[in-house]
């Protein structure tokens, strides 16, 4: 029954992969999204660094009208700043504005850019506070779309709910903002006044609920002192029921608040509540592999809404799908995306790719290896659906191109998996991720930063890997032929690229599964050539070869067939070849080679570290200056032999 349940689950997964943050129906989004810019809306927004935000909003659960004020405290980071620029959609009406308490007029420029001329220019290092009073109804939400700034909906149980999503550039639709991923806000106070009996969920800790100051209204005060990116700020307003508990980290006396807000509890419980009750276990597990949950001194929780998926709002995810793999996906973002944010939208795979990878970790850890394998296979199918798919996003002009599921999500997951597979040990891979969290936590990082972290731990260059898999396009496709003579097995891989005009070749680790009626064995090889023959010693009588059985690599398998001619001209070389010592610390002596045989020694990244010719049939391969590790010696045009340096 367990296997059947897994198959049913992944059949459902195929139908619901558009449920994540950033994934939606391209035909259902606000019309202005396609025209959004790739950088700041106005260069003057780069003249200051935001330190603190104070929201004082009035909202209700029955419509999207918002009124109130937002104060932005910032520091000037240019030589002189003569005007303050920010973004607020033209549907929102500005009532007044103050800079350092002085009323000043606001000028509307292009689209949603607003500007305030300063009476006296502010010099570098100066602090200022801009307070914007405004009201209005944000652009209308599109039914079924994801990137609506403010959505009003009625649940299946008849409960009104209003919630926000600011990703990627719609924060300006509901509050005066600077939409820059690399300007993280140090702290936020969120005051939201709602009708009596209505609840607001937001980021950080709930400091107070004032139920007496304004008759008929409650004011919720949330506060966070952790650095936060603009699009992770949120409110969710409904007649929620609150469920709180405390979790404890393994090996520590420290505890952390879990604070969830559910609606329609009569039908929600116990069917779906049990899934959310597992949050503490997932946090504890992720903490064991990535480092402790970064916002543990505040909380983690979810606001359950009608959102068609999940959005990883910092410390308070907004979610509308009650399945554990989506809960796990959004929870991972608290590490990858929230704690360490990408430095540029082009690097969004550092968030979404890792979140999809973490689904795999979650499924393997809690459901078993078969569930993790099924997940990798499902996402591989998506990654192969775009022959020239690029992982690093070069077109960041629209939400559609930024949040492309086959590339950013599915291929991103596969690249993280391959980075793990390439690690000398599994513990070294997770050490890379912990170092990455430690070194860039509460800040921003890019792909080059992750590469540097991995190289420091792995001990070798990853230029080839990142150039091909992150900055390149497509994936390798393989035709396999094989033969067996006695215990000598020969496997020939012919690689073609799915997008040869951009990335004509991939050098990559691969698994080959030799299969017979009585036994199977899995062998790890490094494919560094378009046509490459590998030889192995295996006694069972083979029936076929399987490529990539555990789906550790992004690749497409075209065909496999037996070729009795494959061993001709190779068997004598393999049987007679003498290599000693192996492993070695200083050199390898290779003997009994055909005269003038070309020899090429490569590292695990496919980089040539030595090449020569056998001359009279012998060769001395220097190794004293090579780093410890595995190497591949290509002999002539056919055979590759593993050499070990210690």
Q: Does residue 501 fall inside a structural domain?
A: yes
Helix (H) and strand (E) counts in the chain: 13, 36
Do 552 and 609 fall into the same domain? no
Q: Which of 560, 589, 604 is the endpoint of a domain?
A: 560
Residues 12-16 have a mean pLDDT of: 42
Cis omega (within 30 of 0) on the bond before 333? no
pLDDT at 123 over 90: yes
Confidence band for 32, pLDDT divided at 50, 70 and 90: very low
Residues 194-207 have a mean pLDDT of: 98
Distance, CA of 374 to CA of 551 (rounded, Å): 9
Do 549 and 489 fall into the same domain? yes
324-362 burial, b if ≥16 CB within 10 A, otherwise e?
bbbbbbbbbbbbbbbbbbbbbbbbbbbbbbbbbbbbbbb
User: What's the sign of the alpha-carbon dihedral 537, 542, 544, 549?
Assistant: negative
Q: Which of 510, 531, 560 is the endpoint of a domain?
A: 560
pLDDT at 233 over 60: yes
pLDDT at 477 over 60: yes
Distance, CA of 224 to CA of 298 (rounded, Å): 7
Tokens of 616: 């009279």
3-state secondary structure at position 429 = helix
Distance, CA of 40 to CA of 375 (rounded, Å): 37
Q: What is the pLDDT of residue 573?
A: 54
Token pair 């995810």 is found at 317
- Which of 105-114, 292-301, 339-348, 376-385 shows the lowest mean pLDDT across its residues? 105-114
Residues 81-104 have a mean pLDDT of: 98
Confidence band for 216, pLDDT divided at 50, 70 and 90: very high
For 230, counting Cβ atoms within 10 Å of its Cβ (0-12 exposed, 13-18 middle, 19+ buried), the class is buried
Q: Does residue 107 fall inside a structural domain?
A: no
Q: Does residue 375 fall inside a structural domain?
A: no
Q: Does residue 102 fall inside a structural domain?
A: no
Long-range contacts of the stretch 433-437 (C-beta < 8 A, 24+): 433/289, 433/290, 433/291, 434/289, 434/290, 434/291, 436/340, 437/290, 437/291, 437/294, 437/335, 437/339, 437/340
For the chain, how many structural domains are there in total?
A: 2
Confidence band for 5, pLDDT divided at 50, 70 and 90: very low
Do 501 and 553 fall into the same domain? yes
Q: What is the pLDDT of residue 600?
A: 87
| Residue from 480, 467, 529, 473 nearest 500 by CA | 473
Q: Which of 512, 530, 560 is the endpoint of a domain?
A: 560
Q: Does residue 303 fall inside a structural domain?
A: no
Do 490 and 548 fall into the same domain? yes
Distance, CA of 57 to CA of 68 (rounded, Å): 4
3-state secondary structure at position 372 = helix
Q: What is the pLDDT of residue 337?
A: 98
Please check whether residue 196 is in contact with residue 230, taking contact to mean a CB–CB distance below 8 angstroms. no
Please check whether residue 555 is in contact with residue 547, taking contact to mean a CB–CB distance below 8 angstroms. yes
| Residue from 217, 171, 212 nearest 59 by CA | 217
Confidence band for 15, pLDDT divided at 50, 70 and 90: very low
pLDDT at 25 over 60: no
| Residue from 518, 517, 460, 514 nearest 489 by CA | 514
pLDDT at 605 over 70: yes
Do 600 and 549 fall into the same domain? no
Q: Does residue 367 fall inside a structural domain?
A: no
Distance, CA of 365 to CA of 325 (rounded, Å): 12
Q: What is the pLDDT of residue 611?
A: 86
Token pair 């039914």 is found at 143
Q: Residues, the chain, total?
A: 646
274 phi and psi angles, rounded to 5 deg: -60, -35
Is beta strand 629-635 parallel, antiparallel or unpaired with respect to 598-602?
antiparallel
Distance, CA of 404 to CA of 400 (rounded, Å): 6
Please check whether residue 573 is in contact with residue 608, taking contact to mean a CB–CB distance below 8 angstroms. no
Residues 302-306 have a mean pLDDT of: 97
Q: Does residue 609 fall inside a structural domain?
A: yes
Confidence band for 585, pLDDT divided at 50, 70 and 90: confident
585 phi and psi angles, rounded to 5 deg: -110, -25
Distance, CA of 334 to CA of 349 (rounded, Å): 15
Domain span at 498 = 476-560
The DSSP line for 482-503 is EEEETTEEEEEEEEEESSTTT-
What CATH number is associated with residue 604? 2.60.40
Please check whether residue 142 is in contact with residue 148, taking contact to mean a CB–CB distance below 8 angstroms. yes
- Which of 14-23, 149-158, 440-449, 628-637 shows the lowest mean pLDDT across its residues? 14-23
pLDDT at 12 over 70: no
Do 554 and 584 fall into the same domain? no
pLDDT at 11 over 60: no
Residues 615-637 have a mean pLDDT of: 82
Q: What percent of the chain has pLDDT over 90?
A: 76
**pLDDT tens readout for residues 149-192:** 999 999 999 999 999 999 999 999 999 999 999 999 999 999 99
Confidence band for 619, pLDDT divided at 50, 70 and 90: confident
**Structure-model confidence comparison of residues 302 and 565, the more confident one:** 302
What CATH number is associated with residue 528? 2.60.40.1910
Residues 535-540 have a mean pLDDT of: 90
Do 480 and 536 fall into the same domain? yes
Distance, CA of 501 to CA of 32 (rounded, Å): 33
Tokens of 79: 């030589």
Distance, CA of 612 to CA of 476 (rounded, Å): 28
Please check whether residue 189 is in contact with residue 54, taking contact to mean a CB–CB distance below 8 angstroms. yes
**Structure-model confidence comparison of residues 324 and 620, the more confident one:** 324
Do 582 and 555 fall into the same domain? no
Token pair 């009996």 is found at 197
Distance, CA of 506 to CA of 479 (rounded, Å): 14
Q: What is the pLDDT of residue 21?
A: 47
Q: Does residue 450 fall inside a structural domain?
A: no
Confidence band for 615, pLDDT divided at 50, 70 and 90: confident
Q: What is the pLDDT of residue 28?
A: 32
pLDDT at 616 over 80: no
Confidence band for 13, pLDDT divided at 50, 70 and 90: very low
């Amino acid at each position: 029954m367990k296997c059947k349940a897994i198959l049913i689950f992944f059949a459902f997964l195929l139908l619901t992969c558009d449920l994540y943050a950033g994934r939606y129906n391209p035909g259902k989004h606000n019309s202005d999204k396609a025209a959004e810019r790739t950088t700041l809306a106005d260069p003057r927004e780069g003249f200051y660094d935001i330190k603190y935000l104070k929201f004082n909003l009035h909202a209700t659960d029955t419509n999207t009208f918002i009124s109130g004020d937002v104060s932005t405290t910032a520091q000037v980071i240019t030589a002189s700043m003569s005007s303050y620029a920010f973004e607020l959609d033209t549907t929102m009406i500005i009532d007044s504005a103050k800079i350092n308490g002085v009323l000043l007029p606001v000028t509307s420029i292009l689209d949603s850019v607003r500007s305030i001329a300063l009476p006296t220019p502010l010099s570098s290092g100066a602090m200022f506070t801009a307070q914007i009073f405004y009201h209005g109804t944000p652009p209308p939400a599109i039914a079924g779309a994801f990137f609506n700034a403010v959505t009003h909906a009625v649940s299946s149980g008849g409960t009104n709910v209003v919630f926000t999503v600011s990703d990627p550039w719609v924060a300006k639709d509901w509050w005066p903002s600077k939409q820059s991923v690399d300007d993280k806000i140090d702290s936020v106070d969120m005051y939201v006044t709602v009708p009596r009996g209505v609840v607001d969920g937001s980021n950080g800790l709930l400091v107070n609920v004032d139920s007496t100051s304004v008759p008929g209204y409650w004011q919720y005060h949330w506060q966070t002192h952790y650095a936060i990116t603009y699009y992770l700020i949120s409110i969710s307003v409904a007649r929620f029921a609150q469920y709180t508990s405390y979790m404890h980290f393994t090996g520590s006396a420290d505890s952390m608040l879990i604070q969830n807000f559910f609606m329609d509890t009569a039908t929600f419980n116990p069917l779906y509540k049990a899934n959310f009750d597992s949050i503490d276990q997932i946090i504890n597990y992720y903490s064991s592999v990535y480092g402790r949950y970064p916002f543990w001194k505040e909380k983690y929780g979810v606001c359950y809404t009608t959102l068609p998926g999940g959005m990883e709002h910092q410390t308070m995810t907004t979610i509308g799908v009650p399945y554990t793999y989506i809960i796990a996906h959004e929870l991972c973002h608290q590490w990858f995306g929230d704690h360490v944010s990408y430095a540029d939208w082009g690097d969004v795979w550092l968030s979404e790719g890792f979140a999809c990878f973490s689904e795999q970790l979650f499924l393997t850890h809690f459901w078993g290896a078969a569930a993790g394998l099924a997940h990798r296979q499902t996402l591989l199918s998506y990654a192969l659906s775009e022959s020239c798919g690029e992982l690093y996003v070069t077109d960041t002009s629209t939400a559609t191109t930024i949040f492309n599921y086959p590339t950013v999500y599915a291929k991103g997951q596969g690249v993280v998996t391959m980075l793990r597979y390439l690690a000398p040990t599994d513990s070294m891979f997770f050490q890379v991720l912990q170092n990455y969290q430690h070194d860039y936590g509460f800040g921003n990082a890019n792909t080059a930063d992750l590469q540097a972290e991995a190289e420091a731990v792995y001990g070798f260059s990853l230029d080839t890997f990142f150039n091909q898999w992150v900055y390149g396009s497509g994936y390798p496709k393989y035709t396999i032929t094989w033969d067996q003579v006695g215990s000598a097995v020969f496997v020939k891989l012919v690689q073609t690229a799915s997008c040869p005009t951009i990335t004509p070749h991939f050098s990559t680790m691969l698994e080959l599964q030799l299969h017979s009626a009585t036994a199977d064995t899995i062998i790890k090889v490094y494919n560094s050539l378009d046509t490459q023959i590998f030889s192995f010693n295996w006694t069972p009588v083979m029936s076929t070869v399987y490529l990539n059985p555990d789906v550790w690599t992004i690749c497409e398998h075209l065909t496999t067939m037996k070729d009795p001619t494959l061993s001709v001209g190779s068997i004598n070389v393999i049987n007679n070849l003498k290599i000693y010592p192996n492993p070695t610390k200083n050199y390898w002596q290779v003997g009994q080679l055909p005269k003038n045989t070309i020899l090429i020694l490569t590292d695990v990244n496919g980089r040539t570290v030595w090449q020569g010719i056998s001359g009279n049939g012998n060769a001395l391969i220097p190794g004293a200056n090579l780093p410890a590790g595995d190497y591949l010696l290509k002999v002539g045009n056919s055979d590759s032999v593993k050499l070990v340096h210690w």
